Amino acid sequence: MDFLTSILTITIRAGTSLTIATIGEILTERSGILNLGVEGIMLMGALSAFTAVFYSHSIAIGLLVAIGVGGLLALLHAFLTTTMRANQVVSGLSITLFGTGFSSFLGQRLGPVANNFRLVGLRAERIVPLAPEWVKQIPIISAFFNQDIITYLVYILLPLAWFFLYKTRPGLWLRSVGEDPQTADAMGIDVTKTRYLYTILGGMMIALGGAHLSLSYTPGWSENITGGRGWIVIALVIFSMWNPARAVWGALLFGGINAVQFRLQASGTSIPANFLNMMPYIGTIIVLVVMTWWEALSKKVGAPAALGTSYMREDK
Amino acid sequence: MSETVIPKVEMRGISKSFPGVLANDCVDLMLHRSEVLALLGENGAGKSTLMNVLCGLYRPDKGEIYINGSYADIHSPRDAQKYGIGMVHQNFKLVDSMSVLENIILGLKDEPFIPDFKRVRQRLVDLAAQYHLKVDPNANIWQLSVGEQQRVEILKLLYRNAEILILDEPTAVLTPQESHELSRVVHAMKQEGKSAVFITHKMEEVMEFSDRVMVLRKGKVVAEARTADTTPKELARMMVGREVLFQIEKKPFCPGEVVLELSNIDALGDRGLLALNNVSFQLRAGEILGIAGVAGNGQRELAEVVTGLRRSTKGALRIGNKDMTNKSPLEIIRQGVAHIPQDRSSVGAVGDLSVASNLAMKQYRSRPLAAGIFLLPKRIVDLARALIEKFHIATPSPQTQVKFLSGGNVQKTILAREIGAARTVMVAVYPSRGLDVGATETVRRQLINQRDGGLGVLFFSEDLDELLQVSDRIAVLFEGRIMGIFDADKADIEQIGMLMAGMSKEATA
Ligand SMILES: Nc1ncnc2c1ncn2[C@@H]1O[C@H](COP(=O)(O)OP(=O)(O)OP(=O)(O)O)[C@@H](O)[C@H]1O
Ligand SMILES: [Mg+2]
């Protein structure tokens, strides 16, 4: 494999968990619910997927468990913010705090006796790239196909989510709920149901992003395996202007810097490793700020107007 | 009596209370086929509440609704839609960032998963042509004028084939021409057997639109009559519970020095087009200068330039004897300029704050409401109580959040605050819009009091009769230009009307 192809392969692999979680968070925020629990849900997704695969030896079960855990945590967020009308920021941050702490706690309890009940250092089945051997020989092109099933899922989800949001009736409803719940309600759209639905769906996709980390990108469990990717997702949602079609660029940017940085470390440069590890985050944030600022000046697009607010019918 | 006519809608014994207010108290309402019922009442009488119950947004505490004689279980707007009920709300229910077409589709329940945009657009265009409601299906709502937005609201109901239309103060925001257009649409719909409930504060419209009237006061039905059997004066009395004076006493005109002067002002509108074109005039102390014109001809931009909310691109603005060109709103407030804005929901009041806080908002920097950096809550509430009483603001308490007030009472809150804050110039943009007859009278009188007290008043209105009655001089604004300035007592209505439509004297001669 030539250098470019390998960089591109790693870029896409690194971008996968971010993209799928970003699409999930976009759907959630489009309904007007801000879920700052992304980091926590990704961690819980990564942990539960790895644990399930370790004991069941089945990738499918691992993915299903992650989806279930993500859905449950998001359900909690939906319940607190929609039904109980708790502050969305507070509820989301609580879920992140909980997910961070609880995943680290479980990581020291769920392992086998032989490993002192710890999950760290264990190996389990991984999700492997799907492409047949002959495809892997084609330069550049192979980078796109030499990927695992979740990446393939992202390929499908990206255009699908865009199409859903802008061209279908339920997508239109979803957007109206996030823009103007009063109007959506008066039009006969069930605001509460919509918000529950897309918060849960978003949580499932976010957890799947986490599962991709522990089953494919950096196989195995380690504390804080996400390394703050949950927060990058929140930033990417803003960068994408809540449009799934744009989410991919930010994710690839982060993935790309990551890949280059890996390469540099592997080649043994004199640049300190900690500095290199920081690069993807710094780079992404700088580009995000510049791009978003530039966009916001040039067009009248922005956050869903009702993002972060709760809605009750008889309450103005 | 062999057969009784079954009413299309019957509401029986509807009661609805909110914390601190009984908004509807055992109200009965009947609406027949091909009938337009005018629903009248003071601000806060409970008109919008009653209609929100009918369209499924509010659940009544008590009472039942019958449609075509059978019990209708309406729990949500969706249920109401099934019974053919559609409402144009006092605050439009449109998603600003979406296109007209998308807003129409939003309300259609039986569109397929992937809506047939082409077909919907075609039917929309047809309907628009049939009812003469011209609108661009691809425009985004935020780009449309209020009048156009209302057309979209009505098209939404027509598209769904609503049989029962509820129009909540549809003309409050319309120009006279647009109101006429609406009256034509309502008549056409009546011909097709549709029925409508029409809420308005304008007596001429009651006479023009409706077959029957029903008057609410403090949540109760106080009168019902056939429109033909009553007069505007009688209706006004029934609404307010006292005689309403349609004439107001005014001291003779004796202007003082110039308090506001615009010289050759240009300014851009929201869409970047020239909205004010070389505007010059002077306003003197003790004078009311009326600005006549069809809405959307630069009124909002003019008011915003004067109050510092919009930059002018050319020309000079002087207040008192200071140059105030493109100064901040705060600096202009410090010169004693007060502003009753056109868009009272987004600029005028903070919905989440209490009535008292909103009333204090312009005076909180100084004594007697503050000592140093500390606010004095008791003084604020005292001030609020006084203003609530003086302006008859219907609110459960000074602490109630403004968003819970009825549309007209939000308006009165802003008015009370601004009138209290004015020291040199008062800019009043459509101050009586959406107000009931009693409140309108109060507003006009207050404006005249301000003038008699030595203020310069810049008074925007679309109602020529009101302008002639209140103003000392009248300037006509058309496409951002001043077409002429006249003395009110010598003004010729015909000529002003022509200028409002952009026809100059030479052209008409
Ligand atoms: N959602 C709500 N929460 C609390 N109070 C409310 C709510 N809606 C209306 N009210 C109160 O109920 C009363 C009736 O309000 P409503 O909006 O029906 O008046 P209205 O007759 O439509 O007045 P206007 O002519 O000013 O629009 C008012 O005192 C108002 O403050
Ligand atoms: Mg109302």
Report the CATH number that the domain containing residue A167 is assigned in CATH. 1.10.3470
In a domain, B247, yes or no: no
In a domain, A314, yes or no: no
Please enumerate in sequence order all residues whose Cβ is within 8 A of that of B70, keeping only pairs 6 or more positions apart, or say none.
Answer: none
Pairing of strands B85-88, B164-168: parallel
In a domain, A303, yes or no: yes
Q: What separation in Å is there between the alpha carbon of B90 and the centre of ligand 2?
A: 6
pLDDT at A297 over 70: no
Tell me how far the alpha carbon of residue A201 is from its chain's centroid.
Answer: 12
Is-above-0.90 flag for pTM?
no
In a domain, B475, yes or no: yes
The answer to whether residues B218 and B325 belong to one domain is: no
Q: Does B93 touch chain A (CB under 8 A)?
A: yes
Ligand with minimal distance to B405 CA: 1
The count of structural domains within chain B is 3
Instruction: Say if CB A36 and CB A92 are below 8 A apart.
Output: yes
The answer to whether residues B315 and B403 belong to one domain is: no
Ligand with minimal distance to B50 CA: 1
Q: Of B213, B240, B267, which marks where a domain is finished?
A: B240
Q: Of B401, B421, B441, which marks where a domain is finished?
A: B421
The answer to whether residues B265 and B414 belong to one domain is: no
The answer to whether residues B55 and B187 belong to one domain is: yes
Angle, helices A38-56 vs A191-212, to 10°: value is: 60
pLDDT value of residue B507: 45
What's the domain range around A151?
Answer: 2-309
Cβ <8 Å between B97 and A170: no
Could you identify the atom of ligand 1 that is nearest to the CA of residue B42?
A: 25
Q: Is the CB of B117 under 6 A from ligand 1?
A: no
Helical residues (DSSP H) of chain A, grouped into ranges:
3-30, 38-56, 59-78, 88-107, 133-136, 141-145, 149-167, 169-179, 181-186, 191-212, 229-239, 244-266, 273-298
Gyration radius of chain A's alpha carbons: 20
Could you identify the atom of ligand 1 that is nearest to the CA of residue A316?
A: 1
Structure tokens at B313: 């691109």
In a domain, A315, yes or no: no
Residues B190, B35: Cα–Cα separation, whole Å: 7
Residues A150, A63: Cα–Cα separation, whole Å: 10
Q: Is the CB of B405 under 6 A from ligand 1?
A: yes
The answer to whether residues B27 and B129 belong to one domain is: yes
Could you identify the atom of ligand 1 that is nearest to the CA of residue B216?
A: 21
Taking alpha carbons only, the member of B283, B248, B243 closest to residue B262 is B283
- Determine the 3-state secondary structure of B119 from DSSP: helix
pLDDT value of residue B347: 58
Instruction: Say if CB A30 and CB A204 are below 8 A apart.
Output: no
| A279-285 average pLDDT score | 83
Structure tokens at A55: 């004991």
Select from B82, B95, B99 the residue whose CB has the most chain A CBs within 10 Å, as the one to mutate to test that interface.
B95
- CB contacts of B93 in chain A (<8 Å) are 180, 182-183, 186-187
Q: Of B240, B274, B292, which marks where a domain is finished?
A: B240
Q: Does A72 touch chain B (CB under 8 A)?
A: no
Please enumerate in sequence order all residues whose Cβ is within 8 A of that of A248, keeping only pairs 6 or more positions apart, or say none.
Answer: A15, A19, A158
Bridge partners (DSSP) of residue A204 are: none
The more confident residue out of B276 and A131 is B276
**Does the interface ipTM go beyond 0.90?**
no
The answer to whether residues B399 and B373 belong to one domain is: yes
CATH at residue B482: 3.40.50.300
Residues B44, B218: Cα–Cα separation, whole Å: 7
Structure tokens at A142: 């192979």
Mean pLDDT of chain B: 86
Q: What separation in Å is there between the alpha carbon of B88 and the centre of ligand 2?
A: 11
Annotate B12-65 with DSSP letters as a single string: EEEEEEETTEEEEEEEEEEE-TT-EEEEEE-TTSSHHHHHHHHTTSS--SEEEE
In a domain, A316, yes or no: no
- Determine the 3-state secondary structure of B477 from DSSP: strand
Length of chain A: 316
pLDDT value of residue B224: 93
Cβ <8 Å between B77 and A173: no
Among A65-69, A175-179, B157-161, the least confident range:
B157-161
Minimal-distance CA residue of chain B relative to A165: B114
The answer to whether residues B63 and B197 belong to one domain is: yes
The closest residue, in CA terms, to atom 24 on ligand 1 is B43
Could you identify the atom of ligand 1 that is nearest to the CA of residue B406?
A: 17
Tell me how far the alpha carbon of residue A52 is from its chain's centroid.
Answer: 20
The count of structural domains within chain A is 1
Minimal-distance CA residue of chain A relative to B351: A316
The closest residue, in CA terms, to atom 31 on ligand 1 is B405
Pairing of strands B337-340, B425-429: parallel
Instruction: Say if CB B163 and CB B35 are below 8 A apart.
Output: no
Structure tokens at B317: 């603005």
In a domain, A273, yes or no: yes
What's the domain range around B116?
Answer: 9-240
Distances (CA, A) of B46 to B216, B277, B431, B455: 7, 43, 21, 36
The answer to whether residues B409 and B487 belong to one domain is: no
Structure tokens at A309: 């607010």
pLDDT at A11 over 70: yes
- The long-range contacts involving B241-248, CB below 8 angstroms and separated by at least 24 positions, are B241/B217, B242/B438, B244/B437, B244/B438, B244/B441, B245/B441, B246/B441, B247/B469, B248/B441, B248/B444, B248/B445, B248/B448, B248/B469, B248/B470
In a domain, B253, yes or no: no
Residues B419, A57: Cα–Cα separation, whole Å: 76
pLDDT value of residue A137: 84
In a domain, B245, yes or no: no
Instruction: Say if CB B77 and CB A186 are below 8 A apart.
Output: yes
φ, ψ (nearest 5 deg) of residue B51: -75, -30
The closest residue, in CA terms, to atom 22 on ligand 1 is B48
Distances (CA, A) of B35 to A240, B205, B211, B373: 51, 15, 6, 59
CB burial readout B33-70, b (16+ within 10 A) else e? bebbbbbbbbbbbbbbbbbbbbbbbbebeebebbbeee
Cβ <8 Å between B97 and A172: no
Closest Cβ opposite residue B404 in set A169, A173, A316: A316
Cα dihedral across residues B173, B176, B181, B184: positive or negative: positive
Cβ <8 Å between B58 and A313: yes
The answer to whether residues B305 and B432 belong to one domain is: yes
In a domain, B4, yes or no: no
pLDDT value of residue B508: 41
Closest Cβ opposite residue A172 in set B77, B102, B112: B102
pLDDT value of residue B4: 66
In this structure, the number of other CB atoms found within 10 A of the CB of residue B168 comes to 22
Segment holding B466, helix H or strand E: helix B464-470
- CB contacts of A186 in chain B (<8 Å) are 55, 57, 77, 87, 89, 93
Instruction: Say if CB B41 and CB B35 are below 8 A apart.
Output: no
Distance from CA of A201 to the nearest CA of B (A): 19
In the DSSP assignment, the letter for residue B227 is G
- CB contacts of B96 in chain A (<8 Å) are 179-180, 305
Choosing from B404, B413, B414, B432 the residue with most ligand 1 atoms within 8 A of its CB, the one to mutate for a pocket test is B404
Q: What separation in Å is there between the alpha carbon of B262 and the centre of ligand 1?
A: 40
In a domain, B60, yes or no: yes
Q: Does A166 touch chain B (CB under 8 A)?
A: no
Instruction: Say if CB A118 and CB A108 are below 8 A apart.
Output: yes
The answer to whether residues B327 and B460 belong to one domain is: yes
B248: left (phi over 0), alpha (psi -120 to 50) or beta: beta
pLDDT value of residue B509: 38
The more confident residue out of B172 and A82 is A82
Which residue type is seen at B407? G
Q: Does B168 touch chain A (CB under 8 A)?
A: no
Closest Cβ opposite residue A305 in set B87, B97, B105: B97
Q: Is the CB of B432 under 6 A from ligand 1?
A: no
Cβ <8 Å between A183 and B93: yes
Residues of chain B with pLDDT under 50: 1-3, 507-509
Select from B90, B106, B353 the residue whose CB has the most chain A CBs within 10 Å, as the one to mutate to test that interface.
B106
The answer to whether residues B431 and B477 belong to one domain is: yes
User: What count of CB pairs under 8 Å joins A to B?
Assistant: 70
The answer to whether residues B266 and B328 belong to one domain is: yes
Closest Cβ opposite residue A183 in set B59, B95, B105: B95
pLDDT at A54 over 60: yes
In a domain, B152, yes or no: yes
Q: Which positions 256-285 of A are in contact with B (Cβ < 8 Å)?
A: none
Could you identify the atom of ligand 1 that is nearest to the CA of residue B50?
A: 18
Please report, rounded to a whole number, the percentage of residues in chain A having pLDDT higher than 70: 97
pLDDT value of residue B502: 75
Pairing of strands B220-226, B370-371: unpaired
In a domain, B62, yes or no: yes
Structure tokens at B275: 């909205």
